[in-house]
Amino acid sequence: MIFKNIQRAVPILFIFVVLLHKSLYALDYVNKDVNIGIFVNISSVALGCSKSFIIEEDNTGKKLKFSKGMVNLICTFKGIKINNYTLRSPIKILPSNDVVFANSQAYQGYLYIKQSQNKMTIINVLPIEEYLKGVVPKEVSTSWPIEALKVQAVISRTYTIANLNKHKEQGFNLCSTTHCQVYGGLSCQAHLSNQAVKETNKEVLTYENNVIQAVFHASCGGRTDTPEYVWSWKNIPPCLKGTKCRYCRNAPYTKWEQILDEHFIHEKLSQNNKIGKIKKIKIKGKTSAKAAKELEIIHTKGKIKLNAYKFRTLVDAWKIKSHTFDSIKVKNDKIYFKGRGWGHKVGLCQEGAKGMAEKGKPYKKILLHFYPKTKIETINYWK
């Protein structure tokens, strides 16, 4: 009888372990390497290595060998020209020491080049954990406390895993600009940000077994917001419903003012709308985080309504720091804006994370403050 029970216990335990494993890892395994589009649709590029390197045609295996130094690649309709040779796309640049230069920037891993018409795209292929070392110091200052850098490392890793298909049609995973995450290669790496990546190795944020869309912004101005009025997302998970933030009070642009010419705004809005001279701008509705929902623009030919976040991006997202407007006034051909915070207000407030870290909060606590009800879990990479 005892023997029978032991026999049954094994498969039950096995099923339990399998289920537990499933519930822990939304993405059981992801590729260790990521493909980053570092130069998109360009005509020429200077590439090289401080040691020997090989340029290889991916489809035929045809190789050109170089000792250290730089070569110019020029894209023509016939192929990619290197000195007196023309290679057919795609090609690989394989450095012997794992460091390759492209237009004076150093990158770890190797480069993959794809041609389309007479333009080429340079893709840096490297392990995700190494890629993050070139992202964290570009997204936050490396003078920030280590716990704030660890927060950014987890957020950037989570963002990477959740957005691997963002540039699928162009043949790579993510680009190296603010459109995805800013990536500066090896040249921008710093000791503390590297430590933050290492100490959070493989950690990502999940909600109900899915890696979340870990969006972030510079400073929220008092409360983070839902993405409802920013990107019109539906079925918003509780981790992105917004939260109070009193830690970014001393950040730059917590309160800001901007004066812009009516003519400047008129010109920007005229690209998509037929409008006359702007007479008044009314704030129509506010979100729970006090951001404007819509703006009504009253002009000499009538009036239009615009989503407030869209208005900001249409006019100039750099000059207008956020759509959390306290007031908008039109006077003598000038438009006077007063507002709070910097960015779209959704997800993590980076300045708030810095403020919490300065108060001694550990990175896991900071993450759970800005993304409530999430879990910090580890992913597995394919070897």
CB nearer to Zn ion: pick between 164 and 308: 164
Determine the interface stretch with Zn ion among 262-270, 288-296, 314-322, 349-357 (rule: CB under 5 A): 349-357
Runs of H (alpha helix) within the chain: 2-24, 128-133, 136-139, 146-162, 191-199, 228-231, 262-270, 308-315, 350-358, 363-370
Nearest distance in Å: CB 160, Zn ion: 11
CA distances from 43 to 113, 121, 156, 274, 340 (A): 12, 9, 30, 37, 42
Nearest distance in Å: CB 217, Zn ion: 9
Q: Which of residues 234-263 bind Zn ion (CB under 5 A)?
A: 245, 248
CB nearer to Zn ion: pick between 201 and 250: 250
CA distances from 85 to 31, 64, 79, 101 (A): 34, 9, 9, 20
Cα gap 304→282, rounded to integer Å: 11
CB nearer to Zn ion: pick between 66 and 247: 247
CB nearer to Zn ion: pick between 48 and 221: 221
> Which position among 126, 320, 330, 349 is part of the footprint of Zn ion (CB under 5 A)?
349
Residue 104 CA to its chain's centroid (Å): 23
Nearest distance in Å: CB 138, Zn ion: 14
CB nearer to Zn ion: pick between 95 and 222: 222
> Which position among 100, 340, 352, 363 is part of the footprint of Zn ion (CB under 5 A)?
352
Measured CA angle at 98 (ends 97, 104), to 5 deg: 100
CB 321 within 8 A of CB 256: yes
> Which position among 30, 94, 162, 180 is part of the footprint of Zn ion (CB under 5 A)?
180
Per-residue x/- mask for Zn ion, residues 78 to 117, rule CB under 5 A?
A: ----------------------------------------
Nearest distance in Å: CB 179, Zn ion: 3
Size of the site for Zn ion (CB under 5 A): 8
Q: What length is written for the chain?
A: 383
CB nearer to Zn ion: pick between 153 and 175: 175
CB nearer to Zn ion: pick between 169 and 360: 169
What letter does residue 348 receive in the DSSP assignment? E
CB nearer to Zn ion: pick between 179 and 359: 179
Nearest distance in Å: CB 177, Zn ion: 6
> Which position among 63, 68, 179, 280 is part of the footprint of Zn ion (CB under 5 A)?
179
Measured CA angle at 229 (ends 266, 159), to 5 deg: 110
Nearest distance in Å: CB 15, Zn ion: 42
Q: Which of 313, 348, 159, 327 is nearest to 230 (CA)?
A: 313
CB nearer to Zn ion: pick between 188 and 353: 353
Determine the interface stretch with Zn ion among 7-15, 56-64, 116-124, 220-228 (rule: CB under 5 A): 220-228
| C-beta neighbour count of 293 within 10 angstroms | 16
Nearest distance in Å: CB 20, Zn ion: 36
Nearest distance in Å: CB 110, Zn ion: 21
Cα gap 82→72, rounded to integer Å: 6
> Which position among 26, 94, 204, 220 is part of the footprint of Zn ion (CB under 5 A)?
220
Determine the interface stretch with Zn ion among 121-129, 174-182, 193-201, 275-283 (rule: CB under 5 A): 174-182
Determine the interface stretch with Zn ion among 215-223, 278-286, 297-305, 359-367 (rule: CB under 5 A): 215-223
Helix axes 146-162, 350-358, angle to 10 degrees: 150
Using DSSP's 3-state secondary structure scheme, residue 83 falls into coil
**Is residue 123 near Zn ion by the rule CB under 5 A?**
no
Cα gap 37→174, rounded to integer Å: 6
The residues facing 376 across adjacent strands are: 205
CB nearer to Zn ion: pick between 220 and 306: 220
Helix axes 146-162, 363-370, angle to 10 degrees: 50
Binding site for Zn ion (CB under 5 A): 175, 179-180, 220, 245, 248, 349, 352
